[in-house]
Amino acid sequence: MKKKYIIMSDKDNCATTLADISKGEQVQLDDKLLSINQDIPLGHKFALKAINKGEKIFKYGQIIGIATENIEGGDWIHTHNITSHYLEEIVG
């Protein structure tokens, strides 16, 4: 079976989809299965583990944003639950 996601860095708490992933589908992480909670389009992100509101979201080993709500493992990460880390630095 072809892998449907990629994790860019060991520091990442999200993965990027390489294909559409449907709600209820399970993806194999190194040591466990993770159930996907929403339909996630190609190129979008999902949480690898629970991320609390206010926590940093990492992709490429870098901070890409801050969670605006609690995010469960398997949740779609997008503009509805993340805010820009860069905007916070500018507005300050």
CATH no. for residue 69?
2.30.130.110
| Structure confidence at residue 87 (pLDDT) | 60
Q: Which domain holds residue 19?
A: 5-91
One-letter identity of residue 87 = L
Between CA 38 and CA 6 the distance in angstroms is: 18
DSSP sequence for 46-81: EESS-B-TT-EEEETTEEEEEESS-B-TT-EESTTT
Cβ atoms of residues 40 and 64 within 8 Å: no
Count how many domains the chain has.
Answer: 1
| Structure confidence at residue 44 (pLDDT) | 98
pTM: 0.90
| Structure confidence at residue 51 (pLDDT) | 99
| Structure confidence at residue 91 (pLDDT) | 53
Closest Cα to residue 11, out of 44, 57, 46? 57
Please give the chain's pLDDT, 92 residues, in tens.
588 999 999 999 999 999 999 999 999 998 899 999 999 999 999 999 999 999 999 999 999 999 999 999 999 999 999 998 666 555 55
| Structure confidence at residue 31 (pLDDT) | 86
